[in-house]
Amino acid sequence: MQHSVLQIPVQESLFVKDPTSSTVGKSILEHGLILLSEIGLEDFTFKKLAAKISSTESTIYRYFENKHQFLSYLFNFYWAWMDVNISFATTNIDDPKERLRRIIGLITKKVSNDLRTPFIDEALLQDVIALESSKTFLSKKVDEENQAGYFLQYKKLVDRISAVIIEINSGYPYPNALVTTILESSFHQRYFGNHLPRLTNEMHIDKRLEEFLLDLCLKTIA
Amino acid sequence: MQHSVLQIPVQESLFVKDPTSSTVGKSILEHGLILLSEIGLEDFTFKKLAAKISSTESTIYRYFENKHQFLSYLFNFYWAWMDVNISFATTNIDDPKERLRRIIGLITKKVSNDLRTPFIDEALLQDVIALESSKTFLSKKVDEENQAGYFLQYKKLVDRISAVIIEINSGYPYPNALVTTILESSFHQRYFGNHLPRLTNEMHIDKRLEEFLLDLCLKTIA
DNA sequence: TCAAATTGATAGTAATACTATTATATTTGT
DNA sequence: ACAAATATAATAGTATTACTATCAATTTGA
């Protein structure tokens, strides 16, 4: 009895060799994510990861150019996975407001491991992306990486959510800005709730975060 | 004929030796900021900075523990400076909505060099902080650094703006969350406008950014 | 089963992120 | 004006990082 497997496609520019195509590759993904969540991007090195999976640096370099590319891979994976979930949760719902409600629910909710993706633990992934995702685009290499398609999946999701906003109010002039504001804020507010509580208002509680962003969003586009 | 000098006080935990207390120190600040704006935090090293100011690494290490502390110093300086400006622009204004309007105006406006602070070019500082500031708090060392007072100035400003929001609507439950959402968004939207335009809506234009955030803020707390 | 591709083992390089030592300036307190 | 204290520059050195290169052993796949 095998449960279904969810294929999350990731851009070719985000790896040297597709990590899902081999056992070592999958191990790099799985334990790379765990190591990242444990020590953070700064202290993360391919050498440490190689030791963890009993492999070598050179092998890991055959899959990813460097740790930044590895992070970008996870970033895209996360948003592609989120896109699938959002897509699933909003099909056949006619009312765009209800769709928006569900989207914000999904974005603000703490996720748990999705067993359909064997080597990625989404609960860990969410924490890692919340902490590190800004670092994917806040770099002097943005333009180059943008050219290479590093942010396509994120853009795609932003477009999808913007379309819902436009459905609710076709005259609202800043749909994309509103969406990215909410997405970034979702990560930051939860993070502040856990580490810098004076910068927020009890946002470690999922429901409050959801209410804050839904309220903000609906009022803004009303 | 000397113009007035604006003293921006920075926490003692943000340096080893006060850089404003000596010529080399001031040079580290001035050229450190320039170098940061040129090459970004990743490629920035004390060795390169030392070469630029014809000094040595060891001298710089006597002022700052590492480049992260140096960035945090600039982060605090920026928000302290912004706090002074906001404070000045909002005294004697009775209407809290008008005060909020002015605050959002100041936050979203591209700043130009403030000649009252001799060794810091605020125009550069704003660009650097927009790109790098998230990295000050998105780190595995947040709690430790928070303890040490690394974010005090930012918190202070958030409190000040939150108070204005509470004045407008004392029942609004998320004033701090709203303020940090706006402050972060202000940086990110402008950045997206310049580098990832599909994630925003022409936010490289100051006036549009201001309108987007002011509208969002006023509707949310209405 | 033979060629091709993949991995592991090992080595090596340039740069980073520091720390330590000492000689030389410079400042300062009296 | 001078000695004492302090700051800086010059130099050296270490452990780690971020790679690249080579080659033998192993796996795979046509």
Domains of chain A: 68-221 (1.10.357)
Per the CB < 8 Å rule, is A220 touching B216? yes
Which of B69, B138, B152, B183 would best serve as a mutation to test chain A binding (most A beta carbons within 10 A)?
Answer: B138
- What pLDDT sits at residue B77? 97
- Chain B residues in contact with A38 (beta carbon < 8 A): none
DSSP state of A19: G
What percent of the residues of chain B are helix, what percent strand, and what percent coil, each to the nearest 5? 70, 0, 30
Q: Which nucleotides of C are covered by protein (CB under 7 A)?
A: 6-11, 15-21
Evaluate if the CB of B97 falls below 7 Å from strand C.
no
Per-residue pLDDT tens for B147-166? 999 999 999 999 999 999 99
CA–C1' B201–C6 (A)? 47
A2, A118 contact by CB (below 8 A):
no
Interior/surface letters A120-130, b for 16+ CB within 10 angstroms, e for the rest? bbbebbbbbbb
The amino acid that residue B211 corresponds to is: E
- What pLDDT sits at residue B1? 44
Per-residue pLDDT tens for B4-40? 889 898 999 999 999 999 999 999 999 999 999 999 9
Q: State CA B127 to chain mean position distance.
A: 9
Residue of chain B with shortest Cα separation from A42: B139
The predicted model gives B68-79 an average pLDDT of 98
CA distances from B55 to B27, B52, B58 (A): 10, 8, 9
Per the CB < 8 Å rule, is A181 touching B189? yes
Per the CB < 8 Å rule, is B139 touching A200? no
User: Among candidates A70, A72, A79, A81, which has minimal Cα distance to A35?
Assistant: A70
CA–C1' A24–D27 (A)? 13
Evaluate if the CB of A67 falls below 7 Å from strand D.
yes
- Chain A residues in contact with B132 (beta carbon < 8 A): 138
- The span from the CA of B13 to the CA of A216, in Å, is 36
User: Among candidates A159, A213, A161, A158, which has minimal Cα distance to A185?
Assistant: A213
Per-residue pLDDT in tens (0 to 9) along chain A, 222 residues? 456 889 898 999 999 999 999 999 999 999 999 999 999 999 999 999 999 999 999 999 999 999 999 999 999 999 999 999 999 999 999 999 999 999 999 999 999 999 999 899 999 999 999 999 999 999 999 999 999 999 999 999 999 999 999 999 999 999 999 999 999 999 999 999 999 999 999 988 889 999 999 999 999 999
Nucleotide nearest to B27 (CA to C1'): D8
- What pLDDT sits at residue B204? 82
Q: What are φ and ψ of residue B100, in 5° steps?
A: -60, -40
User: Among candidates A84, A176, A73, A71, which has minimal Cα distance to A131?
Assistant: A71
DSSP state of A110: P
Task: Please identify residues in chain B, positions 152-191, with a C-beta within 7 angstroms of any atom of strand D.
Answer: none
- The span from the CA of A197 to the CA of A204, in Å, is 9
Q: Which amino acid residue lies closest to nucleotide D11, measuring CA to C1'?
A: B56
The encoded tokens of residue B205 equal: 């234009």
The percent of residues in chain B predicted with pLDDT above 90, rounded, is: 94
Q: Which nucleotides of D are covered by protein (CB under 7 A)?
A: 7-12, 16-22
The encoded tokens of residue A211 equal: 């209410």
Per the CB < 8 Å rule, is B181 touching A181? yes
- Chain A residues in contact with B138 (beta carbon < 8 A): 131-132, 134-135, 191
- The span from the CA of A10 to the CA of A80, in Å, is 8
Query: Which residues make Cβ contacts (< 8 Å) with residue B141, sequence separation at least 6?
Result: none
